[in-house]
Structure 1
Amino acid sequence: MPEPGSTPLRSLIAPPPSSARARFADGFGTRFIVSIDAEEEFDWTAPLARENQGLAHLTSIARFQQFCEGEGVVPLWLVDWPVAKATLAAEILRPAVTAGRAEVGLQLHPWVNPPFDEEVTPHNSFVGNLPPELEAAKLAALSAQIETAFGTHPVIYRAGRYGLGPNTARILHEQGVAIDTSVRPLFDYASGGGPDYRGFPLHPYWLDDAQTLLELPLTTSYWGMLRRQGDAIFPRLWRMPMMRGVLARLGLLERIPLTPEGISVDEAIRGIDMALDDGLPLLMFSFHSPSLHPGHTPYVRDERDLDALYDWFRRVFAYLERRGVQPTTVSGVMNNVVRA
């Protein structure tokens, strides 16, 4: 709980004031983190269901862990309940976490995370929409399971489906979580009952003046001749999705999240360039762990797609090195963020 008299936490679902922007030590430079939403397999086109908890792809996470180690990158595995309960996940990742070659955090999919006191509906799939007592109970259960499985208390959180709510900041603070990384700027999930992150900054920022809870947004950039007008133009194209492709091909406007899922290497490099031009101190990459095995996501359907995913990271890591952008970790961020 915040100390009596301390500044209350701001809402995670409202853009912060410019004064909340976080600063980092002079030697920190520009850094990046690779985050993986470590989660169960399910049909992305079908309704959510509690029984959909396939974990066949876990045999493939060791390869990506080893790949990152070879590249000098410490991956951040944001683990949800089915993965946290899986013995195989602990066997693969716990030694790397103990040795500092990997980090683990929380990812909460409420429909598969106990206690199960709510109906499984699209609205309830955004955990921030649940009653605060239930949201807190689910997070506490997940945190305890991760600590048991991986031997460390998780201090960073991502809401499944980016589903933050009005009570999430307080709940995270009460449960000893120091960083949230659920905000996805330039994306709007309001039509499905989730948050609208348009107008949110890409820079890390504090959720309170006491600087106890830090937001690390996922990195997405607009690219093209109209990028400065992207906030006004892009949302208006939802009724005309083909126009988004037309504008991108013409070099006028493109929205580029830093992920290998649906984003080409060339697009990612353009997104990196835009993020660096905007002076971001931290680039947050993300993708879903089922993409590490063919057949579990729309992005990796066969071995050729899987090879392309690894090639994507090799080429992106090489480009980041050429641009002087080095990898960092959650602990590196916490040790280098400047507190007033």
Structure 2
Amino acid sequence: MRRPQVLFLLSIDTEESWDWSGPFPESSWCVENVQQLRPFHQVCYDLGIRPTLFVDYPVAADEKAVQVIRDLQRTGHYEIGAHLHPWCNPPYYGSPNERDSHVVNLPTEQVDAKLSQLVRLLKERFGVQPTSFRTGRWGIDGKVARLLKKHGFSIDSSVYPFWQNEFFDCHDAHLEPFWASLQDPQRPAVAKDIFEIPVSVGYNWRDFHRANRWHRRISSRGLSPLKPLALAWFSHWLRKLYLSPELTSAEDMLGLIDQMLANGRRVFHMYLHSSSLIDNPNSLVANHNAFHETSRALAAVLSHLKAKADVQCRTLGEARAQLQELAV
């Protein structure tokens, strides 16, 4: 039997760290976690991975962090993308809050101004026009998509499949890369303006959409006293799985890969945050010995995938060039 041909992508939200239990800071953050990208480069290099770094404003404004990323750039193995955290990306418009931490909730002129500042700084610091983008805290709408096109972006990775909050809903989003509509970026379009590359999310069932319907049913508030989600997880009846070492154990990620391969998926897109390379309470899985555990999980995932498929590791820009003619 012919082995499937697949792509493996790793995107890293390269950003400041701070106490997420506190308020959203316009300052008083720390970017020391970016230093961990130096030893992590050796892990990625040994595995043949070509990461995409979604860099935000505080990182690009810090001389020491910039030097780390410039050194990684020189290896030729990295793509520099943009990551917008509106609370710490000038210009500022009042005190940040939960609602305004999501880019989709901001007025068009504010997003436009913040993107202008972010793109200008990335060009100045790294000598590149970023073409790939991810919103902070996920989510994208037509307003943001049109602004991305205006500012020279051609790739987005803000769609988070099977996820919703009070501000956006990605439950019906495409799971594979697609050309996104500038009116509704979760829907495919004929025009080739923005290429959407979602991160990989699924279930321990082969039919992800059926599993998601069940997951939503048992997530209802009325059933919460019975703790059905916990029962489903611990019984292994139904598990929602993310291709991210921050949220899912290595063992469960291997199960996700098997289900994705059974579904004929050809793009495996893992994500993590630069802050997850240091011990911190925001990572649900690798929050102790974080660097080692994240590196170990990454190696296990790629080894498992290579045992079952012919794998090419790509940056998001390289993936777009390879996939665009095949996309929906």
TM-score (norm 2): 0.88
The one of 85, 106, 116 aligned to 2:82: 106
Q: Partners in 2 of 1:111 and 1:327 — Cα distance?
A: 33
Q: CA deviation at 1:296?
A: 5.9
Q: CA deviation at 1:226?
A: 7.5
Q: Which residue of 2 aligns with 1:152?
A: 128
Q: Which residue of 2 aligns with 1:315?
A: 300
Give the SS at the match of 2:81.
Answer: strand
Distance 1:237 1:339, change over 3 A: same
TM-score (norm 1): 0.85
Q: Partners in 1 of 2:217 and 2:23 — Cα distance?
A: 27
Identity %: 28
- Alignment-mate amino acid for residue 199 of structure 1: D
Q: Does 1:202 align with 2:202?
A: no
Q: Which residue of 1 aligns with 2:160?
A: 184
Q: Partners in 2 of 1:66 and 1:103 — Cα distance?
A: 16
Give the SS at the match of 2:137.
Answer: helix
Q: Partners in 1 of 2:64 and 2:250 — Cα distance?
A: 31
Q: Partners in 1 of 2:234 and 2:52 — Cα distance?
A: 33
Q: Does 1:266 align with 2:247?
A: no
Q: Which residue of 1 aligns with 2:20?
A: 44
The one of 172, 182, 195 aligned to 1:214: 195
The one of 86, 98, 106 aligned to 2:62: 86
Give the SS at the match of 2:129.
Answer: coil
Q: Partners in 2 of 1:252 and 1:47 — Cα distance?
A: 37
Q: Does 1:282 align with 2:305?
A: no
In the TM superposition, what whole-angstrom CA distance separates every residue of 1:88-147 from its partner, at most 9, and x where no partner exists? 222112133244211110110000001102431111100121111110111121111111
Q: Aligned pair count?
A: 309
Q: Partners in 1 of 2:58 and 2:281 — Cα distance?
A: 16
Q: Give the 5 Å matches for 1:15-30.
A: 29-30=5-6
Q: CA deviation at 1:279?
A: 2.0
CA contact (8 A) 2:139 2:160 kept: no
Q: CA deviation at 1:163?
A: 3.2
Q: Partners in 2 of 1:132 and 1:166 — Cα distance?
A: 10
CA contact (8 A) 1:41 1:296 kept: no
CA contact (8 A) 1:36 1:76 kept: yes
Q: Partners in 2 of 1:280 and 1:187 — Cα distance?
A: 19
In the TM superposition, what whole-angstrom CA distance separates every residue of 1:48-92 from its partner, at most 9, and x where no partner exists? 222242112222121112211121111111111101111122211
CA contact (8 A) 2:206 2:262 kept: no
Q: CA deviation at 1:227?
A: 4.8
- Alignment-mate amino acid for residue 79 of structure 1: V
- Show structure 2 runs of 5+ residues with no match: 181-188
CA contact (8 A) 1:155 1:176 kept: yes
CA contact (8 A) 1:68 1:74 kept: yes
Give the SS at the match of 1:164.
Answer: coil
Q: Partners in 2 of 1:97 and 1:317 — Cα distance?
A: 23
Distance 1:227 1:298, change over 3 A: closer
